[in-house]
């Protein structure tokens, strides 16, 4: 339960820091919103489980321009993403924790790609009594994939690789506002 609270807290802090709201009184926020990076971005939030973690979130900033292939520059098409996943043995028969941070690029109006890295843990307990220890992998995790926007709805598909030993397929559905 503590890990779920940590993952949720990371997502809330990231969403709050990545998108500034202007209340009309603060000139500092006007500067932040008018910079090239924040000018044409929208917030993306999604539920994103994987093949070994049924609890997952994916979010960040997505560009709203014509895309890299449509002639927009690299900075105007760049965004940020954060992803976190968790599972314990009561849900599936594996313990899984994953957190990744990275960049996203808008290819065309409705398609984005993302790639990033972070930390992950995977532990598979053997059900039968055996002399083999539980399979346990910890370390660097790389995640990449695509985000497709259909109106305000977004669909995610990708892969996640933990220490080049464990492969997870990632999917999800979310909302962009």
Write out pLDDT tens, residues 149-162.
Answer: 998 999 999 999 99
Q: Give domain status of residue 72, yes or no.
A: yes
Q: Answer yes or no: is 96 within a domain.
A: yes
Identify the pLDDT of residue 12.
52
Judged against a pLDDT cut of 80, whether residue 72 lies above it is answered with no
Tokens of 65: 């321009």
31-35, 85-89, 106-110: the lowest-pLDDT one: 31-35
In a domain, 119, yes or no: yes
> Is residue 89 a part of any domain in this protein?
yes
Is it the case that residue 11 has pLDDT exceeding 60? Answer: no
Confidence of residue 169 (pLDDT cuts 50, 70, 90): very high
DSSP states along the chain: -HHHHHHHHHHHHHHHHHSPPP-SS-HHHHHHHTSHHHHTEEEEEEE--BTTBSEEEEEEEEE-SS-TTTT--HHHHEEEEEEEEEE-TTTSSSEEEEEEEEEEEEEETTEEEEEEEEEEEEEE--SS--SSPPEEEEEEEEEEEEEEEETTEEEEEEEEEETTTEEEEEEEEEEE-
Q: How far is CA 175 from the centre of its chain?
A: 13
CA atoms within 13 A on the CB side of 138: 3
Q: Is pLDDT at 30 greater than 80 in this prediction?
A: no
Reported confidence tier of residue 68, pLDDT bands at 50, 70, 90: confident
Q: Which structural domain range is residue 43 located in? A: 2-20+38-176
User: Would you place residue 9 in the very low, low, confident or very high pLDDT band (cuts 50, 70, 90)?
Assistant: low
Looking at the chain, the whole-number percentage of residues with pLDDT higher than 90 is 50
**What φ, ψ does residue 152 adopt, rounded to 5°?**
-85, -10
Nearest to 21 by CA among 12, 9, 32, 13: 32
Residue 30 lies in a domain: no
Average pLDDT, the chain: 81
Residue 26 included in any domain: no
Tell me whether residue 171 is in a domain: yes
Domain assignment of residue 55, yes or no: yes
Count of structural domains, the chain? 1
pLDDT at 22: 41
Task: Determine contact, residues 51/168, Cβ cutoff 8 Å.
Answer: yes
Q: How far apart are CA 139 and CA 165, in angstroms?
A: 10
What span, in angstroms and rounded, lies between the C-alpha atoms of 71 and 76?
10
List the CATH number of the domain containing 122.
2.40.160.20
């Amino acid at each position: 339960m503590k890990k779920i609270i940590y993952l949720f807290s990371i997502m809330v802090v990231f969403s709050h820091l990545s998108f500034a709201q202007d209340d009309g009184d603060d000139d500092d926020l006007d500067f932040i919103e008018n910079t090239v990076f924040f000018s044409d971005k929208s917030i993306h939030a999604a539920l994103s489980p994987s093949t070994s973690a049924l609890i997952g979130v994916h979010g960040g900033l997505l560009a709203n321009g014509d895309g890299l292939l449509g002639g927009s520059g690299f900075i105007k098409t760049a965004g940020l993403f954060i992803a976190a996943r968790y599972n314990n043995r009561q849900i599936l028969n594996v313990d899984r924790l994953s957190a990744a941070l990275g960049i996203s690029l808008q290819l065309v109006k409705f398609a984005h790609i993302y790639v990033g890295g972070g930390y992950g843990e995977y532990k598979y307990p053997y059900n039968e009594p055996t002399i083999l220890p539980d399979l346990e992998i910890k370390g660097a995790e790389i995640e990449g994939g695509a985000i497709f926007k259909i109106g305000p709805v977004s669909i995610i598909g990708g892969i996640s690789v933990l220490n080049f030993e464990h492969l997870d397929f990632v999917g999800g559905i979310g909302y962009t506002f």
